[in-house]
Every structure is written in C-alpha cells, then in structure tokens.
C-alpha cells in the first residue's frame, strides 16, 4: 500500500460531526491503481447506519444558529483558507489523484489548480451578496428578495474527476451556508478524504462537513431515499441519475443532476487544420476519454474528411500511453479492467455494425502496461447516427467520425442526441460560428476551442445530460432558497371587512 503513510489519508476515513470515526460495521474496501492493479490503500466503508449518523449531525449543525448558519465573512474565510491549504499540499494531492484515477500527474496538478480557483471564486461571490429590493409602487413598503441556505445536502461525486467534481459541490454548498454529507465514488475516494481533512484544518464547524465513503447501492441509496436531506447533487450516469430522481420525488427533495454527454465536435472545411486536429485529439483522448464533456463525435465536412482523418489517425498513433505517475505519459489507463472490457465490447460492436477502424482498437503492447487497464486511442470512421457507438456513452478513448455536406446537416447531426452537455465548432467564418453556437442544443458550446471552463460560468446540459447547473452564480443558487420579505413600514387598518 504505497499511500499508507500519507498523512492526509490516515485512518479512520469517515468524518461525522467533527470527528474521524470507524465505520459502525467495520467495513473496508481496497483501492487499486488502475495502471498496474496494485493495492494503494484500504479505506473504511460506511453503511446505512453511518449515513444516518452523518445526516443527523448535518441536520443538527444546520439547525444550530451558532454552527452551520455562520456569517458570510466566516464562510468566505473558510473557503479561502481551504484554497490556501490545497495549494500547500498540491503535490501530495496530485500524486494521490493520479494513483487513484490513473490520470497523468500533469492533469492532476491542473485539477487541483482548478479546485483552488473554485473555492476562491465562491468565497468572493458569497461576499458580494445577492439580495435585491423590489419596487412595489408603495413608499411605505420595503419588498426584499433574499437568499437562504437550502439545508442539508447530499453530495455524490463520480470517479473520473473525484476532487474537481466534489469541489464544484462542496464550495457553493458551504458558501451558501448549508451542511453537507459527501459521498465520493467508492472507486476513487482518496482525494476527497484529503480534501475533508483540509476542510477540518481550515475550521469547518462540527457537523457542517461529513464524509461517508461507500458503495452506491448502500450509501448512495441511504443518502437519496430519505426526507432528512433537503437537496441531492449527483454527478454520474444517466441511469443512476434517473433512479435518484425517482427516489427524491417520493420525498419532494430537490435534485441537481449532471449526467454526462455524447458531445459533437464539428469541423468545417475552412477551419485551421493544425489547431483543429490538436483540439479534436485533446477533446477525445484526454484522461483516456473518461470525461463527461469529451468530444467523442467528430463531425467533419466531407470535402476535407479523408485528409483530416488520416492526419488525425497518424497523430493518435503517436500518443504516449502509460502510467499516469510517469511524466512521459500523455494519457493513462481506464479506471478498471471491467471498464476496459466494456469499451472493447463497444468498439467490437461498432465494427460489426459497419464502422471502419483506422486507429487503435486494441490494448497497447508496451510491457509497462501489461497489468493495467490500458486501451489505445481509437478512431472509427464511416459511422452512422443509428450506431450504438454514436448514440451511447462509451466513456473511453474512442472517437467516431461522421461527415456532413451543409451547415444545416451539421446542426442536425450535432443535435441528434438524447444528451446535450457540450459541443465544439471549428470555422474561420465568424457569422457561421455564431449561427452554429446558437443553433446547437448543448449546455456549453466552444467556438474554435474545446474543453476549457471557468468557475464563473455555469456548467450543465440539456436533455439527458441533467437537471440544474454547477459553477457560476447559478451553481450557488442550487444551494439556496429564495425568500420574499414584505415589510410595511406604516401599517394601517385595511377595512376589508369594515
């Protein structure tokens, strides 16, 4: 267990009501490095009783005026101090994230920098306030709209960006004044454990932040099927998201769901080729395609398609696949052997349906990758919109290619998906670019770029990509209730009933 001595990961791993505690039933789970299958840590695993204790602690903390409902200045200071601690432990947490998820160290360092930016953004945003006064036309009346914390929040993050996605939830929830119970993925819980230790060091009041690592069917269900939780924020698969929404509906619990996508990257004939090819490669193969906003559908103009795809395949074949901890690696393994098997099955089915394999489509031959969950960057040409590989998330390093002749056809193909998280457009024509970004039904549309985001801009999708938004002012509003206060400064007898 090469992370056993890391102070940020020391046992126990459940954090409830301000204390690190052992699971009630003594459960545990081995955490494996997907690059070679070795055990890197053993983490305590919660069950329903631990979840109940954590929710009760959060409920008590939120109800206590001296605990969760801390002044705005103190909330902002907690977020700033957490950001500072993350910066101080940047290298250690990056190593934890890389060994846990398989992503490269470069990616992990970028993730941590982004997490720091998210905490700082919400510290600044909450300090500015969002109350407003409404003009009623009556000088005697002061009508105010104020925002208050929604209450106890269940925060459930995915395995592909465990630290980043949890920060998108914890930072605005704490900024709003909520109390939280966090559940990282049981596959990649380590960086969230480290984050909660830093939140404790930063001065989070007891019960305001609680952590219950554990399996989705056990811990996730206990968190989402209870009237004691006021909001559920979940990032993950659409099937699980729908099940959570169903359970939440029984209790009329608010939900925020970020459920992935099948994202088109549309390249017109006038696009600058080198930057377009570079963006398509990055959008498809960063973190081995295990990105909800990955540009997995290349939709390219037919007049440039053959040459563009040939160069794309040549460059994809040069991507250095290897352990994320190795600085020479440009992309790492898939999260598990089981997930790699699913990706392989998707590719095999696509070929059976008529797709043409022009790059990858197999495991690498490098001996360093023999015991890990590696799969080469893969490109499938001649794909059709009715193919499963085009319509369903593969969540691996697989790029499908479709061709178009007209702008209208490009829009039709780009919108022909049940998802709507993100899309990209490459063109040198500003007017065409503006028409395209307006016509595409996706939550984020990049024009002559693919992938970047800012904490100040909302993130989320249309259709099966989810409900609600993270980041930006809208991400804070998810964790707030809106209250109207009507203050009559000169009360008088109305005389309605004489």
- CA dist 371 → 197, 274, 396 (Å): 32, 35, 18
Q: Looking at the chain, how many residues does it have?
A: 498
CA atoms within 13 Å, Cβ hemisphere of 118: 26
State the Cα–Cα distance between residues 204 and 208, nearest whole angstrom: 7
| 97, 107, 200, 292: the active-site residue | 292
State the Cα–Cα distance between residues 249 and 30, nearest whole angstrom: 34
My answer on whether omega of the bond before 184 falls inside 30° of 0, hence cis, is no
Contacts of 350 (CB under 8 A, 6+ apart): 380, 383, 387, 388, 389, 400
- CA dist 263 → 276, 299, 354, 398, 466 (Å): 16, 10, 21, 12, 14
Q: Is 258 a catalytic residue?
A: yes
State the Cα–Cα distance between residues 186 and 42, nearest whole angstrom: 11
| 6, 107, 200, 258: the active-site residue | 258
CB 440 within 8 A of CB 462: no
State the Cα–Cα distance between residues 83 and 455, nearest whole angstrom: 14
Of 88, 82, 85, 255, nearest to 174 by C-alpha is 82
Q: Is 292 a catalytic residue?
A: yes
- Largest Cα span, the chain: 92
The gap between the terminal CA atoms of the chain, to the nearest Å, is 81
Q: Cite the active site residues.
A: 258, 292
């Amino acid at each position: 267990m090469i992370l056993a001595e890391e102070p940020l990961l020391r046992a126990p791993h459940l954090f409830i009501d301000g204390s690190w505690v052992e699971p009630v039933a003594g459960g545990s789970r081995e955490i494996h490095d997907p690059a070679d299958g070795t055990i890197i840590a053993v983490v305590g695993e919660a069950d329903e009783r631990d979840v109940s204790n954590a929710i009760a602690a959060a409920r008590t903390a939120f109800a206590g005026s001296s605990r969760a409902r801390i002044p705005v200045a103190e909330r902002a200071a907690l977020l700033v101090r957490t950001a500072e601690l993350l910066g101080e432990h940047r290298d250690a947490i990056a190593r934890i994230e890389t060994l846990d998820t398989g992503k490269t160290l470069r990616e992990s360092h970028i993730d941590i920098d982004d997490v720091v930016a998210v905490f700082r953004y919400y510290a600044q945003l909450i300090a500015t306030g969002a109350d407003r006064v409404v003009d009623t036309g009556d000088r005697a009346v002061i009508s105010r709209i104020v925002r208050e914390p929604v209450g106890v929040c269940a925060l459930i993050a995915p395995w592909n960006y465990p630290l980043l996605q949890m920060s998108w939830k914890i930072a605005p929830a704490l900024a709003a004044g909520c109390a939280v119970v966090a559940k990282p993925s049981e596959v990649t819980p380590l960086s969230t454990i480290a984050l909660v230790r830093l939140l404790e060091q930063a001065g989070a009041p007891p019960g305001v932040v609680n952590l219950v690592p554990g399996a989705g069917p056990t811990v996730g269900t206990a968190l989402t099927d209870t009237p004691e939780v006021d909001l559920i924020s979940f990032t993950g698969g659409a099937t699980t998201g729908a099940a959570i929404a169903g359970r939440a509906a029984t209790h009329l619990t608010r939900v925020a769901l970020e459920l992935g996508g099948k994202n088109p990257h549309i390249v017109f004939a006038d696009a600058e080729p080198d930057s377009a090819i570079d963006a398509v490669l990055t959008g498809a193969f960063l973190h081995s395609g295990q990105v909800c906003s990955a540009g997995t559908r290349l939709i390219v103009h037919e007049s440039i398609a053959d040459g563009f795809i040939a160069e794309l395949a040549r460059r994809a074949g040069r991507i250095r696949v290897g352990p994320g901890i190795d600085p020479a690696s440009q992309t790492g393994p898939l999260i598990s052997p089981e997930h790699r098997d699913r990706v392989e099955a998707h590719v095999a089915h696509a070929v059976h349906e008529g797709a043409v394999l022009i790059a990858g489509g197999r495991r690498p031959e490098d001996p360093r990758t023999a015991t890990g969950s590696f799969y080469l960057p893969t490109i499938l040409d001649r794909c059709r919109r009715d193919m499963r590989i085009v319509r369903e998330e593969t969540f691996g390093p697989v790029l499908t290619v479709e061709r178009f002749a007209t702008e209208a056809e490009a829009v039709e193909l780009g919108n022909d998906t049940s998802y709507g998280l993100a899309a990209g457009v490459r063109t040198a024509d500003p007017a065409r670019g503006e028409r395209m970004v307006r016509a595409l039904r996706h939550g984020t549309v990049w024009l002559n770029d693919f992938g970047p985001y800012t904490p100040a801009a909302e993130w989320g999708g249309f259709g099966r990509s989810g409900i609600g938004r993270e980041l930006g002012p809208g991400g804070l509003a998810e964790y707030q209730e809106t209250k109207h206060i009507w203050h009559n400064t000169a009360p008088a007898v109305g005389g309605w009933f004489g």
